[in-house]
Amino acid sequence: MILNEKFNLSNGIEIPKLGLGTWLVDNQKVVDIVKSAIEIGYRHIDTAQAYENEIGIGKGIKESGISRNELFITSKIHAGFKTYLETKESINKSLKDLDVEYIDLMLIHAPQPWDKWRSNERYFEENKEVWRALEEAYKNGLVKAIGVSNFLQDNLENLLKNSEIKPMVNQILIHISNTPKSLIDFCKNNDILVEAYSPIAHGVVLRNEKIAEIAKKYNVSIAQLCIKYILKLNCLPLPKTTNIEHMKNNTLVDFDISDKDMQTLLNMETINSYDEFSYFPVFSKK
């Protein structure tokens, strides 16, 4: 069962192979969502400072009654925090808001502030300072693993060349019709686990007839096919849902996708619009 399976990070830490995304779930609603997920069997919860729901996630964990050491909690440094001091203070705030003694995985949310998303400003020097604060938190036991999110190859190379501790994770957008194979391969070659956010493409793939045909062939839902696709890439899917039945169904991926169908899915025509989610950056407060 996928909920019992784990990847190993480069430092030996185990991370559950399926996580629950919590983007756009507010502090009030996320409490019950986290409790329901834990009851179903989820042990990996993904959040971020920018999601503004760490307090609710902390409450959900406490009210679930489960032991802290049975859970894997990920958060992310706000993309706008690009100094050592800002990063250090934000880690302490996340620990306080989550009401935990340590965070299992802490990521840099993006290489640039959201209002500079994918601009020519690379922020190499700034990210080295953010990383220095993360390395310090790691050495002090405040975080058990450190990594990045939305980093391209040159962003990763900057840290790989200038860090004492190498990034352990890169969390990026991956789904059927959007699979950055060269970046995934680069990460794997450098022992960086790749996590996939929005593995169901914000729901847009649910309307894709070709994907639906393949899902039907395996007698599974499109969402289940999307999650299994990520796992077949040896990446970690982070589907986000507030629907309890969907949450349960997303764990039912005990089937295989043939090599032929994987090639079809890998070469699926790119989705050009995510409807109301098409605007990036998604957070621009900082």
Q: How confident is the model at residue 283 (pLDDT cuts 50, 70, 90)?
A: very low
Amino acid at 277: F
The pLDDT assigned to 270 comes to 82
Residue 100's contacts (CB-CB under 8 Å, 6 or more residues apart) are 58, 61, 68, 73
Pairing of strands 14-16, 44-46: unpaired
Q: How confident is the model at residue 233 (pLDDT cuts 50, 70, 90)?
A: very high
For tokens 């999650």, name the residue. 227
Q: How confident is the model at residue 137 (pLDDT cuts 50, 70, 90)?
A: very high
The pLDDT assigned to 285 comes to 39
Q: What angle do CA 247, 44, 139 make, to 5 degrees?
A: 165
The pLDDT assigned to 281 comes to 46
**If DSSP states are collapsed to H, E and C, what string results for the chain?**
CHHHCEEECCCCCEEECCCEECCCCCHHHHHHHHHHHHHHCCCEEECCHHHCCHHHHHHHHHHHCCCHHHCEEEEEECCCCCCHHHHHHHHHHHHHHHCCCCECEEEECCCCCHHHCCCCCCCHHHHHHHHHHHHHHHHCCCECCEEEECCCHHHHHHHHHHCCCCCCEEEEECECCECCHHHHHHHHHCCCEEEEECCCHHHHHHHCHHHHHHHHHCCCCHHHHHHHHHHHCCCEEECECCCHHHHHHCCCCCCCCCHHHHHHHHCCCCCCCCHHHCCCCCCCCC
The pLDDT assigned to 275 comes to 62
Cα–Cα distances in Å, from 176 out to 72, 217, 228, 231? 26, 16, 10, 12
Residue 277 has pLDDT above 60, yes or no: no
Residues annotated as catalytic are 51
Q: Measure the CA–CA gap between 240 and 121, rounded to whole angstroms.
A: 31
Residue 125 has pLDDT above 70, yes or no: yes
Q: Say what the pTM is.
A: 0.95
In the predicted model, what is the mean pLDDT of the chain?
94
Mean pLDDT of 127-153: 98
The pLDDT assigned to 110 comes to 98
Domains of the chain, first to last? 15-205+236-243 (3.20.20.100)
Q: What angle do CA 44, 45, 50 make, to 5 degrees?
A: 150
